[in-house]
Structure 1
Amino acid sequence: MPLSQNARGAVMMTLAMGVFTTNDAFVKLVTPEMNVGQIMFLRGLMTTAMLLLLARQAGLLRDIRQMLHRKVILRSTFEIGAAITYISALAHIDLAVAATILLSLPLAVTFGAWLIFKEPVGWRRWSAIMVGFVGVLVVLRPSPEDFVPASLLAVVAVFFTAGRDLTTRRLPPALPTLLVSLFAALTNTVFGAALILPFGGWSPVSGTALMHLTAAAVLLMAGYQTIVIAMRSGEISVVAPFRYTSLIFSLSLGFYFFGEQPDAYMAIGASLIVASGLYAFYREKRRASPLACATEPRVPH
């Protein structure tokens, strides 16, 4: 039996969180050996090669000019910003902490939809956004003795990623997902190459690091595909909450690869972020339902 659009979106979002988080773990493993630009370039080069091969087999290269659609370019610009800031953050903070901060993404998407696209947001969802922001502050531990400045880079990455996701929702339906992914990988590769010297120059690549980056490239290719499919499938209020599965993946991988132990700050902060995000989605679903429209016609929630 074929999956419904909502079920398909939920499955794809869960897969996307799994592969993206595992990619993050492999990237974090190589950050002691090479800089952000070199990581983006090498990983992007392999990802681009694989996507080019898939696009050729699918017969999409004859339509490659579709990649130059202005919304695809804008989406890739956000993608580049997210890659630079998030990889930089991973080099200095725990994987689970970075992933927990990224859990606030759905709230940032709601804020961006209000700010850019003038979508209505009621006081209940504004309250949820504020609670989520408090959760981020708890994770950041903004006290002089505990605060890690690099964690702010993960916060910036949240807003870049929100811009990417908002743009993804507005891509032309006929535009092949594979071409969107290919353009993102290609532009990340080019910008990564440009950043190698400013970020400290080329470093020798060990065999282990190359294997880690190869695995990261395969996972990134899968992530590009699944996140675009997820964001273009089903209702966002149903699909987006499955982002929170990334917490399960990040805690497991952080413990396995780096021996990370979540503390009370992260547990409390993550709980606030997840609870506020789920409530915001609940209010969005209520607002969009026929019953909500009939009983609350004047007040956006």
Structure 2
Amino acid sequence: MDNIRGSAWMVLAMLGFAIEDTLLKTATAAVPVGQTLMLFGAGGTFGFLLLTWRRGERAFASEALKATLFTRAIFEITGRLFFLLSLALNTLSSTSAILQATPIAVTLGAAVLFGERVSWQRWLAILIGFVGVLMIIQPSSEAFQVTSILAIIGMIGFAGRDLATRAAPPALSNMQLGVYGFGVLIPTGALYAFWTGGFVWPDLYSGLSIAAGTLVGIGAYYSLTVAMRTGMVSVVTPFRYSRLLFGLLLGFIIFDESVDAMTLAGSAIIVVSGLYILMGNSPRKAAATKEATERA
């Protein structure tokens, strides 16, 4: 029963993140990317501050000054900024599809940085997964979009953030990490906005889109935390890929996006490769992953 509830929470979280992506993409049509990132970061920081205080925790702890947290902040900035740029300049469908390679990149990074043992079958799955990414961006065809590179950089940033989170001090809670993760987006967005031409006064629709995206994003983050603490990691985690389905559907419904056969095939390869890697974890490794995720 816990696995069913955990899986439901995971699907809800992925739906929330897909809606967040849609709302932020909508906002960037009228509000500069840097300003959108700044406002999104401010809203998220305030939301997680409230959640932190509600739990009776300090918003800022001495452990936040550890080098690991600075590394995490750099990857958080990279992931958020380039992912938002990709949402603004590329299709939601393509950006969502490329993002699904994050678990594959995390597995690769864990093997290289943390010395985790990876079987040759999983190495093959990693390689095949990145072939799927190449199929989506189609670098050698006329369909290639340079903006797809932004999504890849964003995906690498998120993978680095997840790896850094695993090494974060255990004393820091999910809510505290949420405060730090969103907090660094405020100066990042402001600096990027100044660099790219300044600020505009958001219209009502754009302002509501950013506010709604922030609220939905906080709710999705909470749902993700509940999911990872409710069911077995090996059962719940594969439902992360439902975000791709939601992204494709919202891209079609909201932005009238079409998806070609190569993108669909590449997405399927990424999902199958990622599922193989996730399902290949032993119970002991799954438990270790759950413990690390609970600190994320």
Question: Map of 1:20-35 to 2, 5 A cutoff?
Answer: 20-35=17-32
Question: Map of 1:280-299 to 2, 5 A cutoff?
Answer: 280-285=277-282
Distance of 1:114 and 1:262 partners within structure 2:
33
The structure-2 alpha-carbon separation of the partners of 1:68 and 1:132, relative to structure 1 and needing over 3 Å to count, comes to same
Alignment-derived partner of residue 167 in structure 2: 170
Distance of 1:110 and 1:211 partners within structure 2:
37
The structure-2 alpha-carbon separation of the partners of 1:119 and 1:104, relative to structure 1 and needing over 3 Å to count, comes to same
Q: Determine if the alignment matches structure 1 residue 52 to structure 2 residue 49.
A: yes
Q: Determine if the alignment matches structure 1 residue 18 to structure 2 residue 18.
A: no
Question: Map of 1:191-202 to 2, 5 A cutoff?
Answer: 191-202=188-199
Alignment-derived partner of residue 187 in structure 1: 184
The Cα offsets for residues 9-58 of structure 1, whole Å up to 9 and x where unpaired, read as 64444333222111110011122212221011111112222222232333
Q: Determine if the alignment matches structure 1 residue 106 to structure 2 residue 103.
A: yes
Partner letter of residue 34 of structure 1?
Answer: V
Alignment-derived partner of residue 279 in structure 1: 276
TM-superposed deviation, 1:151: 0.3
The structure-2 alpha-carbon separation of the partners of 1:166 and 1:20, relative to structure 1 and needing over 3 Å to count, comes to same
Q: Determine if the alignment matches structure 1 residue 155 to structure 2 residue 177.
A: no
TM-superposed deviation, 1:247: 1.2
TM-superposed deviation, 1:64: 4.2
The structure-2 alpha-carbon separation of the partners of 1:181 and 1:225, relative to structure 1 and needing over 3 Å to count, comes to farther
Please give the TM-score of this superposition, normalised by the length of structure 1.
0.86
The structure-2 alpha-carbon separation of the partners of 1:135 and 1:27, relative to structure 1 and needing over 3 Å to count, comes to same
The structure-2 alpha-carbon separation of the partners of 1:237 and 1:169, relative to structure 1 and needing over 3 Å to count, comes to farther
Q: What secondary structure does 1:89 align onto? A: helix
Deviates more, 1:149-158 or 1:26-35: 26-35
Q: Determine if the alignment matches structure 1 residue 137 to structure 2 residue 161.
A: no
- Alignment length (residue pairs): 286
The structure-2 alpha-carbon separation of the partners of 1:30 and 1:126, relative to structure 1 and needing over 3 Å to count, comes to same
Distance of 2:6 and 2:39 partners within structure 1:
30
Percent of residue pairs identical:
37
Partner letter of residue 43 of structure 1?
Answer: F
TM-superposed deviation, 1:127: 0.9
Contact 1:169–1:231, Cα closer than 8 Å, also in 2: no
In terms of Rg, which structure is larger? 1
TM-superposed deviation, 1:86: 0.5
Distance of 1:62 and 1:35 partners within structure 2:
29
Q: What secondary structure does 1:260 align onto? A: coil
Partner letter of residue 44 of structure 2?
Answer: T
Alignment-derived partner of residue 39 in structure 2: 42
Partner letter of residue 281 of structure 1?
Answer: L
The Cα offsets for residues 81-138 of structure 1, whole Å up to 9 and x where unpaired, read as 1011101111121111111111111110110001110111121111111111111111
TM-superposed deviation, 1:287: 9.1
Q: Determine if the alignment matches structure 1 residue 125 to structure 2 residue 110.
A: no
Alignment-derived partner of residue 295 in structure 1: none
The structure-2 alpha-carbon separation of the partners of 1:184 and 1:232, relative to structure 1 and needing over 3 Å to count, comes to farther
